[in-house]
Structures are given as C-alpha cells and as structure tokens.
Amino acid sequence: MIYDFYHRGDDTFYYRLLSLLEKKIPAKILEISRIRNEVYLVKTNQFWMILKGYNSYQKLKIQEAFTRALKQEGFTHTYQFYVFDDEPIIIDEMLFGMIEYISPHKDSFTYSSKGNRREALQLLEHYYTVTERLVEIYKYILPSFLLMKKLEQRLVEFRSNKSIIEHYLKMEIVEEIFEWANISFLYIQEHNEYLHSKSNVILHGDVAHHNFMRDINNKLYLIDFDLISIGPRVGDYLQFANRILPNIGWSLQQLQKMSGYSQLFKEEWFLIALMYPTDILREWNRIIRNKHLSNDFLLKQVLDLTTDQYEKRKKFYQKLRQIVDI
C-alpha cells in the first residue's frame, strides 16, 4: 500500500518508484510518503529508510563514499547509505540514494539551549578531527571553500534589490546594513590570505540547527553533507556564530566563552568577518528572487529577522568595531 501525504500531482511517479524499489530492496514495501522536495520516507516490513534525490551520479556517489569514510574513520554520529547494487534509482533524470533512517527524538534539536549549542560544537570538533585525515583523499574531488565568492554574490544581489527593500525598511536601516556588509567584505577581500594560512578540514557547509538531530536514545547526529568543501574550520565556525547569535541575544561575551571561539576572538580577521550581516542579505535576496514578497507569512519572517533584534545586533557590531579599531 502506498500513501502520499503530500500529493505530488503525478500518481505515476509513485508507481514507477515502487516498481524500481521492489526490484532493489530485499523487503516488502509497506508505505512511501513525501517529506519534502525529492525526499521520501520508505517503510518496509523489515526497516525504514530515507530516499533522497540528487541531480547527478557524481554527487550521489560522493555522498555514499564520504559517509562511509566517516564511519570507517570513527565518526559514528551520522547515517549510512544502503547500496543494494551498483545501479541507482533514476526517475525523471533525478537519481535517488537510499539512506539509513534514524528514529528521531520526540523533541526537535534547536539552538535555544546552552547545552544543545555546546554539544553541537563538540560534535563539529569531532567531525573536523576525523575529516582532517580525509582531506588528502578528497581535495581533488570536493570544491574549495570560497567565502569571498559567496559574500560578494550576496552583496551584489542585495545592492540590486535595494530599491525594493526600501519599501519595507527605513532607509537608514538599509544604509547601516550596507555599511556593515561593505566594511566586512572589503577587509576580507584585502586579507584573503588569512584562510590559506590555516589547516584544512572538510567543512560541513550548512551548520543550521536542522542539520543536527537527536535519535530516540538522545544521541546527537550530524546530517546532510550536500555542501561539503575543503577549507579551514573557521568557515563553519563563522556560520555557526551567525546562526546562534540571535539565541544568545547578540552577546559578545557569551560567544567568546564558547568552545573554539576564545582563540578566534584574538584574530582581527574573524572579528571583522563577524560583522557581515549574512543572514539579512541571504533572506532578503531569497524572498525577492523567489517572488514571495506577496506572501505575508514569509515577508513577516524576513522583517522580524531584520528588525526584532536590530538594536542588539547594532551594539554587537559597534563593539566589534571598537575592538579592532575601525
């Protein structure tokens, strides 16, 4: 029996998927349900698994090999791929990988608690210790971490959207956001050698809270390696800081006390890089690019992101500027 909880509008897709799975999986399929775009939960009479779509054979095989290498090197806090034979499942030019299902904890993982933030950082450090040993194997397979390119693209797109954004925000707020972004970007651009002076690991690339999950036994897992790249730890630490700062009230002192950050606070590059308002630029660019400004719910989200803690963010950036004297 097949249940589609998120109707796709193409029933034949499920019958094609079922037919292919029945040929590959040594178990009876009981149910297939869509979780989100190109991600499905498959229940059999023996086990459950996640079916995830990839747009190229290379990407799928990199994910299979990388997660297997993590386990072999002692990182057991992630999933494995099932590979029942060498031929992937292909439907509508999308290739599907079969991923081990982790029974989730009743409570979703968030960055709202100090304990969760601490445990996430500990898990990331364990991940880097392992991936540091894998860099030589993957340095010709994975892309390099290109922070400058990402920051420049966001800033250019945000600048092109300025006239639209000013319909929703006060002009002085938009100008301040530009000032923060420009100061940070120009400094990083002039000191790009900083990243090349650091030892490399395999960066996760998306350390948002939803890429950590607890299982039913409270074990914390790191998941979703679609954005892995070769670069120094600071790339993920910078992103992690941006993700948790709203949860700690933009407190410079709390961030500095966290594991891994006390040393980074001694480096001018990191402090100035923290000034780049990456979340604001990312979300305004996304809502405009996707033409979702008419969606009141999404618009409120991006407005709240920009304004709710704006004064705390402003004081945080002012303190950073005082420390580095710019």
Q: Which of 54, 72, 100 is the last residue of a domain?
A: 100
Asked if 22 and 122 sit in the same domain, the reply is: no
Distance of CA 33 to the CA centre of its chain: 24
Number of domains in the chain: 2
Asked if 184 and 126 sit in the same domain, the reply is: yes
Q: Is the residue at 208 inside a domain?
A: yes
Q: What is the full DSSP assignment across 225-271? A: -TT-EEEETHHHHHHHHHHHGGGGTT-HHHHHHSTTHHHHTT-HHHH
Asked if 87 and 141 sit in the same domain, the reply is: no
Asked if 182 and 320 sit in the same domain, the reply is: yes
Asked if 72 and 158 sit in the same domain, the reply is: no
Q: Identify whether the C-beta of residue 275 lies closer than 8 Å to the C-beta of residue 180.
A: yes
Q: Is the residue at 107 inside a domain?
A: no
Asked if 149 and 233 sit in the same domain, the reply is: yes
Residue-level pLDDT at 10: 64
Residue 247, pLDDT above cutoff 80: yes
Asked if 160 and 240 sit in the same domain, the reply is: yes
Tokens of 224: 């979703």
Q: Which of 78, 100, 122 is the last residue of a domain?
A: 100
Tokens of 150: 């990402």
Q: Strands (DSSP E) along the chain, which ranges? A: 29-36, 39-44, 48-54, 81-82, 89-91, 94-100, 200-203, 212-214, 220-222, 229-232
CATH of the domain at 210: 3.90.1200.10
Q: Identify whether the C-beta of residue 40 lies closer than 8 Å to the C-beta of residue 32.
A: yes
Asked if 182 and 257 sit in the same domain, the reply is: yes
What sign does the CA torsion over 246, 247, 250, 255 have?
A: negative
Q: Which of 71, 100, 129 is the last residue of a domain?
A: 100
Q: Identify whether the C-beta of residue 201 lies closer than 8 Å to the C-beta of residue 235.
A: no
Asked if 186 and 128 sit in the same domain, the reply is: yes
Asked if 237 and 272 sit in the same domain, the reply is: yes
pTM for the whole thing? 0.92
Long-range CB contacts (< 8 A, 24+ apart) of 104-109?
104/213, 104/214, 104/215, 104/216, 105/213, 105/214, 105/215, 105/216, 105/218, 107/214, 108/213, 109/209, 109/210, 109/212, 109/213, 109/214, 109/220
Residue-level pLDDT at 1: 44
Residue 258, pLDDT above cutoff 60: yes
Q: What domain range includes position 194?
A: 114-324
Q: Is the residue at 160 inside a domain?
A: yes
Asked if 232 and 281 sit in the same domain, the reply is: yes
User: 3-57: per-residue pLDDT in tens?
Assistant: 454 444 567 888 899 999 998 888 999 999 999 989 999 999 999 999 999 999 9
Residue-level pLDDT at 40: 95
Q: Is the residue at 118 inside a domain?
A: yes
Q: How many CA atoms lie within 13 A of 36 on its CB side?
A: 0
